[in-house]
Structures are given as structure tokens and as C-alpha cells.
Structure 1
């Protein structure tokens, strides 16, 4: 199976001097094509830091992050920005949308920065993705005129526009009510079934149950892992029970 992202003994520190804290402690993992991975752990365990490192949004102090065989630390700023724009999607807990742009223009903004020659084609693609996400009728609305769940789906649309190999999500349902969270997770699951790898940080066992592989972190390390066979996909209740038991075991 094709490897998309590989982390090799990743170390990341925050702070300086006596306040220096090791956020990631020799973390190694690989993400394969089409995988759906959830990352769980207590606050401060390194979950979000790992996502930022693997996606190239933040640097590391030692180790390697390889994207399709390329060491991203050796890329220029332009090459790294191009990689993130074309191959990687990132969805934040709070959608980072601009108040002076409507929903459609917010979705289009990163694509416009990279390719102004094909505006019509990109706009049409964005509208198709919005229709799929159930927000086609919102394209002219300001970001203050839609719900939190609709904003998050707009953020996912933006992440999908370039046809990425993988989408990272940092607590993408954390600020949503249960109905909106379910809608967002249905969209992630659909994206994954079509072949895009997904890696999400979450505190919610119900969200993690959408994944086939759950990584548990503590003190900057991956301390445990659960893998579910594809045949377990429909038995969400059993998956949630196993995930919850593991969370209690490692005190999440």
C-alpha cells in the first residue's frame, strides 16, 4: 500500500531554557493511502502538535517528516507552500474564514492564490463540492449568516478543492452540536471512502469510531493503538465501547 506521510522519531520542543517542554518525544508512524486515523489523548499530550508537524504547518527539532518519499524539511518555503496547497488539506476546530468574503469566495481563496488562470473551472469545482457538502445555497452569504456546522463544512470544502491526498482535522467537531458534528463526520467518511486519507484529532469516542485506526497519545508519545477491520465499520456501538475502555485504561 502506498505510504503518503511517514514520521521518523519526531521530536518537537516548546519554550526555552528551564521552561522548555518536549511536546513530541521520538514519535514514529506512517499514514497509508486511503486510511482513516483518529488521534486521542489528554490535553497537552501532543495530538495537535503531531498534526501540525505531519502537515508541514510547523517545523520539528529532530527526526523526519516524509511526504510521498520527500523530506519536507528540505523543501523551500515556496515548495512547502505548494505541497500544502495541492496535496494536503487542513480543517481547524474554528474555521479560519475571512469576514469580508462570502462563503464561496472563502472556499476559493487558497486556489486563487495558486492559480488565477483557471478561475471559471475552479469556481465550478467549488460549487460542485459545496453541493455535495449540502451548502450550495449559501455561497453568497457572509460567514456571520450561517451556522457553525455550515462554516465547518465550508472549511472542509476549501480543504477538498485541490483534490488532496490527505486531510488533517484538528478537533473539527469540537465546537459543534451533536447534529452538526454528525453531518461533518458523514462528510469526512464519504471523502475517505472515495480514497482520500483522513487523520483527525478528537476527544470524542463517537468521532473516533469513524476511523479504522486510533492512536492514543500521552506525554508526547504514541502509547497505544487500536485497529478495526473493515467488517467492523457498521458496528459503531462496539467500536465506541472499545475506544472508551482504552481511554479509561490510559486515563484520557
Structure 2
């Protein structure tokens, strides 16, 4: 399988002079097309920083990041922004939505930026995605008139609008109850089955157990990995136990 992301000896530092600290300390990672990856580790281990580095959302102090054959460390901010907008999708713990727009308009807004002539097709695609994730009847609702799970589904729709090669999620189920979390993970599994790669940062062993591979981080380094078979909806507790045991082994 083609490698969609190659991170080679990535270093990311914060602070100045004697107070400088490496949040990423020579991290190397590869993600292939269609892979479903989780990143776990204690707070401050560098999980989210790694996601920001691999997606070009944050610059690095050393090493390089290659996405879809392009070295992101050699690309200007304008081109980086275009790459993120057209080839990547992002889902966060708290979806960032505009309060003065309804759910449908929030979903289509990024896609309308340079493509207003295709507004009908863009809206049609958004409605199709909303139906797919179970919020087809909420397009005219304000963001204050839906649940957290429904708002996260809207965020997923927005992330899928431009057919991204990979979706990055930073604790995407962290603010949800267990039922909503399971439903969101079902949607992620369907997206992955269609061929889209996903990388999720999570503290939740149950979320990580649904992925293909888990990278465990501590002190700015990947200290271990766990490969799992494709999730088939069965034996989830066994998988969670396996993840939990591995977390204890690496001190998470």
C-alpha cells in the first residue's frame, strides 16, 4: 500500500534558550492509504502535537513530513492551507461552528470559499452526507438546537466534503457519552471502509480498540505500537483488554 504520510525524525520544540523543550523528540511515523490509526499517551506526551505536525497545521523544528508525495516542510503557508482544505479533513473534540449559521450552512461554508458557482451541487452533497450520518432532518437547525453527538456528526460531514485522503481527529469522542461515542466510531469505521485513512488522538481504550494500529507515546517519543486485525464488531471487550494491558506495559 502507498504511504500517504511519512514523518522522518520530527522534532518540535517549545520555549526559548535554556527553557526549550522537545515536545516531539525525533519521531518517525508512516501511515498508509486507507489505514486507521490511533495515537495514545498521557497528557503532555506529544499526541496532539504529532497530529498538528503531520497535518502541516504546525511547523517543525527538525526532520520532515511528506504528505501524498509533498514535503510539507518545504511548502509555503498558502499552499499548506490549500492542501489541508482539499486533501485533509479535521474533527476536534468540540466542533467549531458559527453561531449565526444553521447546520447545513456550517457544513458547506469551507467548500464554498472558491466555488460559489457550484453552490447547488455542494449543498446536495452536504445533504447526502447528512443523511448518511443520521442528521438529514437537522439542516435548518441552529447549532444550539442539536445535541453534542449531532454536532459532531455535522463536523464529520464538513470534514468529508472535499473527499479527503485522510481525516485527523483530536479526541473526537471526548465530549460524548458512551452511546454517542460508539455511534461516531461506527461512522468512522464506515468512512475507513470506503478507503479514507484516519488518525485519531484519544485517551479512550475503547476508541483505540476499533482501529488497525495504535501508537503509544510518552515524553515526545513513540515508545510502542500495537497492531490489531480489522474490527468486525465482535469481541470489543477482548480488544479493549488488550489495549489496556499494552497501556500498562508502556506506562500510560
Q: What's the TM-score once normalised by structure 1's chain length? A: 0.97
Q: Does the 8 Å CA contact 2:24/2:49 hold for their aligned counterparts?
A: yes
Task: Indicate the SS of the match to 2:59.
Answer: coil
Task: Indicate the SS of the match to 1:149.
Answer: helix
Residues 4 and 233 (structure 1 numbering): CA distance in 2 closer, same or farther, change over 3 Å? farther
In the TM superposition, 1:229-248 aligns within 5 A as: 229-230=229-230, 234-248=234-248
CA–CA distance in structure 2, aligned partners of residues 49 and 133 of structure 1:
29
Aligned length: 252
CA–CA distance in structure 1, aligned partners of residues 157 and 15 of structure 2:
35
Q: Does the 8 Å CA contact 2:42/2:218 hold for their aligned counterparts?
A: yes
CA–CA distance in structure 1, aligned partners of residues 117 and 81 of structure 2:
19
Q: Does the 8 Å CA contact 1:47/1:201 hold for their aligned counterparts?
A: yes
Q: CA deviation at 1:130?
A: 0.6
In the TM superposition, 1:121-140 aligns within 5 A as: 121-140=121-140
Q: Does the 8 Å CA contact 2:91/2:168 hold for their aligned counterparts?
A: yes
Match of 1:203 in 2: 203
In the TM superposition, 1:134-153 aligns within 5 A as: 134-153=134-153
CA–CA distance in structure 1, aligned partners of residues 88 and 47 of structure 2:
18
Match of 1:10 in 2: 10
Q: CA deviation at 1:236?
A: 1.7
The answer to which of 91-100 and 69-78 deviates more is 69-78
CA–CA distance in structure 2, aligned partners of residues 54 and 150 of structure 1:
28
CA–CA distance in structure 2, aligned partners of residues 212 and 117 of structure 1:
40
The answer to which of 14-23 and 34-43 deviates more is 14-23
For residues 132-180 of structure 1, give each alpha carbon's deviation from its aligned partner in whole angstroms, at most 9, with x where no partner exists.
Answer: 0101111111111110111111111100000000000000000111111
Q: Does the 8 Å CA contact 2:92/2:172 hold for their aligned counterparts?
A: yes
Task: Indicate the SS of the match to 1:58.
Answer: coil
CA–CA distance in structure 1, aligned partners of residues 116 and 24 of structure 2:
39
Match of 2:50 in 1: 50
Task: Indicate the SS of the match to 1:136.
Answer: coil
In the TM superposition, 1:138-217 aligns within 5 A as: 138-217=138-217
Q: CA deviation at 1:231?
A: 7.3
Task: Indicate the SS of the match to 2:93.
Answer: coil
For residues 11-65 of structure 1, give each alpha carbon's deviation from its aligned partner in whole angstroms, at most 9, with x where no partner exists.
Answer: 0011223332211011001110100001000000000000011111111111101
**2:76 matches 1:76:** yes
The answer to which of 9-18 and 149-158 deviates more is 9-18
User: Could you say what the CA RMSD is over the residues aligned between the two structures, in angstroms?
Assistant: 1.2
Listed as ranges, the gaps of 5+ residues in structure 2 are: none
Q: Does the 8 Å CA contact 2:212/2:229 hold for their aligned counterparts?
A: yes
CA–CA distance in structure 2, aligned partners of residues 233 and 85 of structure 1:
32
**2:93 matches 1:98:** no
Q: CA deviation at 1:234?
A: 3.1
Listed as ranges, the gaps of 5+ residues in structure 1 are: none
Q: CA deviation at 1:251?
A: 2.1
